[in-house]
Amino acid sequence: MKKILTFAVLVLAMTACNKRVNPFLTEWDTPYGIPPFEQILPSDYIPAIRAGIAQQNAEIDAITANPDAPTFENTIVPLELSGRILSKVTGVFYNVTETDRTDELAAVEEEAIPLMSEHSDNISFNKALYNRVAALYHGDQSGLTREQQMVLKRHFDSFEREGIGLPEEQQARLRQINADIATKTQKIGNNILAESNDFLEKFGFSVAAYPDKMTTTEDRELRRQYNEAYTSRGHRGNDNDNRQLLLDVLDLRAEKARILGYPNAAAYILANKMAGDPQTVDSFLDGIMKAAVAQAKEELADMQAVMDREVREGKLPAGSRIEPWDWWYYAEKVRKEKYDLDESQTKPYFQIDSVINGIFTNAKILYGVNMERLEGVPVYNPEVRTYKVTAEDGSLLGIFTTDYKPRASKRGGAWMNNIREQYYDADGKDVRPIIVNVCNFSDDYLTIDEVETTFHEFGHALHGLLTKCHYPTVSGTNVTRDFVEMFSQFNENWAFQPALLARYAKNAQGEPIPEELVTKILNAKKFNQGFMTTELCAASILDMRWHELATTKGVDVDAFEAQVTREIGLIPEITYRYRSTYFNHIFSSGYAAGYYGYLWAEVLDKDAFSIFAASPDGPYDLALARKFKQTFLERGGSEEPMTLYRSFAGRDPDSAAMLRARGLTD
């Protein structure tokens, strides 16, 4: 009997196993349609991607087979709604490969990337589809809403920019280039992660904690070793060396640009951005660089004075000069002396839960957003927390999740990601977004920089959550790279507003942060900005210079960096924020010829904030906040960025507020 029973159980189990349905191929009856993360196996991705590609191909075939003349309704709408399975898979997949990477997932990714790249090319080079889109674009658009016109323009531009008008031979070459870029950029990203994990293994702390360690480590020789290891990532002649790979990627990007009629990759990439062309970006960055280096030299002199005193006290040998590994450490000493601000005093008030309370409270005051913790819903990692986000009238805005702790399986840095985009489905139902904020906070108590990071990423989240668009191509954060950072940086302006600090910055005893400490934080805001701006601006220029090359023939990565360093007057005590071999943004994350976007968007964000600052009600002018929400946060990419900006500010943006905020002018 027992034997038979065992057999029966086994058969049942096998049947169940055979009948297991790929979760991506089912409707999700989870709360709010959150992906059923716990049910997804690594082996589900490839079959789901293949099914998703087949689904989208069939949907596109149906569009092009339609004998009726093209209309927005019979062409663009079904195109926008196509590929839902693929969106479900990629929303989950791209998130976990960045946050919970395993060897198994890495192998899946290696298989997935060429599939996705080929599929995307098949759409880009679909002449029948293009003909319908082009007929609409060149036809009478007067019956379309502004959002529909923008969606149409995006599709038309995208075809043109991918080379639909080129002869087949050149299209074939572009396909090969796209596939090679996809594979090589992925490899670069993986190498950076491996190098960062080597760093962690060697020193016992992650690269995310590098600034903190450089600030607090007294042992100068140890700091030198940290610096050397940090700045030589991807550059050590081991299996993770990125030098040749990045040159290959640059050549592929330059070749693609050339085929498409642009002199270099930067010109191609910038043609559909706010900035428009490399010359505009170059002169923008040059102006900032000069002011930043001048400021950094003053900061250096302050630090050297502290060091000279230590020499006189016999703590350091005669002739000691500030080196790159001394900057953080001596900057902190100057900060303590000049501003009497010590992060060990502020940290107790910035426990992570208090800071989360701060970002939520601020969003509630400004935009009427309510956050409610959800328990028992699917999560991709036990560290993840989920919130239901609702508007003032109780309607659902979306789902927001936080993933703040570092893991060896997680990429460094901080970012926002959409697991699901906002759009209206075929039944006219408003599908609300699912958004994640990912950070790498090594401690439960945050530094001042980390508090800002939390506000920054939540600014992106608000842009994603408050969107009121109809089409996924333009909803939420689907705007140009040099516009998107405006909203994250804009939200940072509230992090240290005294009225908000009084509500959220409390220590373990529940005592609010003392007023004198708040004053010190605010006074110290401009501190070390010469350094911060210099390393950021230098990295932005390095990005531009790489992508302005027509070829890397005969170029050596180190020699090239050294040459740029000389040309821009970067002082030897400061290193690029990211050196080329670990510059994830530009070689693996879609910020190629786009890193300037942070500074560019900061002009917009600081200028917009200056309008709040000038209001009698200050940063909590709620009428102005409503205008900001309606003009920007609800509109996504449904209008040209500059048009939106002018309708908010009533004028063009002015960089004076940004330079003032960074202490680069009076």
The residues of the shown chain that bind Zn ion, judged by CB under 5 A, are 488
Q: Closest residue to Zn ion, Cβ-based?
A: 488
Element containing residue 318 per DSSP (H, E): none
Sign of the alpha-carbon dihedral angle for 201, 207, 212, 214? positive
Taking the least distance from each CB to Zn ion, the nearer of 174 and 419 is 419
Taking the least distance from each CB to Zn ion, the nearer of 488 and 655 is 488
280 neighbors 599 (Cβ within 8 angstroms): no
Cβ at position 150, least distance to Zn ion in Å = 22
User: β-pairing, 396-403 with 434-438?
Assistant: parallel
Q: How many CA atoms lie within 13 A of 108 on its CB side?
A: 21
Cβ at position 437, least distance to Zn ion in Å = 10
Taking the least distance from each CB to Zn ion, the nearer of 390 and 488 is 488
Taking the least distance from each CB to Zn ion, the nearer of 383 and 452 is 452
Using CA atoms, how far apart are residues 541 and 576, in angstroms rounded to an integer? 10
- Exposure b/e, 386-411, CB count within 10 A at least 16 = b: bbbbbeeeeeebbbbbbbbbbeebbb
> At which residue do the structure tokens 């030897």 appear?
572
Looking at this protein, which amino acid is placed at residue 470? Answer: H
- 3-state SS string for 609-629: HHHHHHCCCHHHCHHHHHHHH
Cβ at position 259, least distance to Zn ion in Å = 31
Cβ at position 399, least distance to Zn ion in Å = 20
Cβ at position 601, least distance to Zn ion in Å = 9
- CB proximity list for 110: less than 8 A, separation 6 or greater: 186
- CB proximity list for 165: less than 8 A, separation 6 or greater: none
Local structure of residue 605 (DSSP, 8 states): H
381 neighbors 40 (Cβ within 8 angstroms): no
Taking the least distance from each CB to Zn ion, the nearer of 473 and 488 is 488
Using CA atoms, how far apart are residues 538 and 575, in angstroms rounded to an integer? 8
Element containing residue 402 per DSSP (H, E): strand 396-403
625 neighbors 633 (Cβ within 8 angstroms): no
Cβ at position 269, least distance to Zn ion in Å = 18
Taking the least distance from each CB to Zn ion, the nearer of 447 and 488 is 488
447 neighbors 521 (Cβ within 8 angstroms): no
Looking at this protein, which amino acid is placed at residue 458? Answer: F
Closest CA to 63 of 137, 147, 127: 127
Cβ at position 462, least distance to Zn ion in Å = 12
Q: How far apart are the first and last CA of the chain?
A: 90
Taking the least distance from each CB to Zn ion, the nearer of 489 and 565 is 489
Taking the least distance from each CB to Zn ion, the nearer of 490 and 612 is 490
Q: Which residues are catalytic?
A: 457
Cβ at position 455, least distance to Zn ion in Å = 11
Taking the least distance from each CB to Zn ion, the nearer of 124 and 488 is 488
Closest CA to 419 of 464, 467, 485: 464
Cβ at position 454, least distance to Zn ion in Å = 12
> At which residue do the structure tokens 């994640």 appear?
436
SS3 388: strand
296 neighbors 534 (Cβ within 8 angstroms): yes
- 3-state SS string for 560-578: HHHHHHHHHCCCCCCCCCC
Round the CA-based radius of gyration of the chain to a whole number and report it. Answer: 26
